[in-house]
Amino acid sequence: MELTQIGIISISILPLLFAITLHEVAHGWVAYLLGDTTAKKEGRLSLNPIHHIDLVGTIILPVIMLAMGGIIFGWAKPVPVEWGRLKNPKRDIALVAVAGPAANLLMALFWALVLKTAILLGDDAGFAVPMALMGKTGIGINCLLMVLNLLPILPLDGGRIVDSFLPARWSVKFAALEPYGMLILLLLLTTGLLGQVLTVPNHLIQSMIYAIIGL
């Protein structure tokens, strides 16, 4: 089944919205469990994507990149976290950070189950083919976002995790690079280096998920 660009975008919307939304909600929920109620007070623990959508990062840029067939690069409005309100900031920053990629991993497994169900239903079910394509897309989007967010660059989650393990003296120097993090990512993206960096870990994680589900 060959899809048009509009078909590709239509099938990708739901997995993309929930990949970004649940990623952010996971950050806020873990922060809440660890003592910071900021996200809850601001209504950002909601599963409603509208509360998390960033016009450019969640809609315009991902749609353009999907249409171009490139790496899906995007973001939602970051869930507010006041690090100083966490019970053990140095440790808890890493736990809050890892919650987002962990949510993407769980969603990738969910979409793998959707794909498996569609395959079991077979061609007799009229919705099996789009269901399978959505499942496969969901796996790809969530694995890619997980790997992307684990890059050791601030303000990405990987950067937060690295920063939480650094001694105070090194942490200050590392944190000073945060204002340039998005510029670094855009440079990697435009030069094609980002795709090269993400390809191997993304492939390995997707292969693992397919193996777990028996696909």
How far is it, in rounded angstroms, from Cα 131 to Cα 137? 10
Query: Are the beta carbons of 87 and 185 closer than 8 angstroms?
Result: no
Query: Catalytic residues, which ones?
Result: 24
Angle 146-147-152 (CA atoms, 0-180°, nearest 5)?
110
Selection from 70, 73, 49, 52 nearest residue 61 by Cα: 73
How far is it, in rounded angstroms, from Cα 85 to Cα 127? 48
How far is it, in rounded angstroms, from Cα 110 to Cα 127? 18
Element (H, E) at 29: helix 5-33
- State the sign of the Cα–Cα–Cα–Cα dihedral 182, 183, 184, 187: positive
DSSP string, 78-137: PPP--GGGSSSHHHHHHHHHHHHHHHHHHHHHHHHHHHHHHHHH-TTSTTHHHHHHHHHH
Query: Are the beta carbons of 184 and 153 closer than 8 angstroms?
Result: yes
